[in-house]
Amino acid sequence: MSLAFNLLTVLAIVAGALFFLAGTVGLLRFPDPLSRLHALTKADNLGLGFIVVGLLLHGEGLLAASKLICVWLLTLLAGATVTQLIAHAARPSGAQE
């Protein structure tokens, strides 16, 4: 049983790491600030989600698990709103480039 859980943890964390890789590739390759922002926030937040899922399967204790979920939700919430703000700020200076 624990072997299966370990395997799932490894799989989820590898998937998370791949999303981080995708985010960085997007950051390096995309031509303008807005699409770079898109690559960064979407991919990295998904990557973090997979890593949280992987650690949930591995970790023990309800309190630790709920804290992990809180961290992820807070990151999503803060990330989603702040990204909007950054995009607003990026638009005029993006046009100047």
Q: Measured from the CB atom, is 1 or 33 closer to another protein?
A: 33
Is 38 one of the binding residues for another protein (CB under 8 A)? no
The reply on whether position 89 binds another protein by CB under 8 A is yes
List the one residue out of 58, 52, 54, 92 whose CA is nearest residue 72: 52
Joined together, the tokens standing for residue 80 give: 């989603």
For 45, residues 6+ apart whose C-beta sits below 8 A from its C-beta are: 75, 76, 79
Calculate ∠ Cα 59-65-66, nearest 5°: 175
**Under the rule (CB under 8 A), what is the footprint of another protein?**
6, 9-10, 13-14, 16-17, 20-21, 23-24, 27-28, 33, 36-37, 40-41, 44-45, 47-48, 51-52, 55, 58-59, 64, 67-68, 70-71, 74-75, 77-79, 81-86, 88-90, 92-94, 96-97
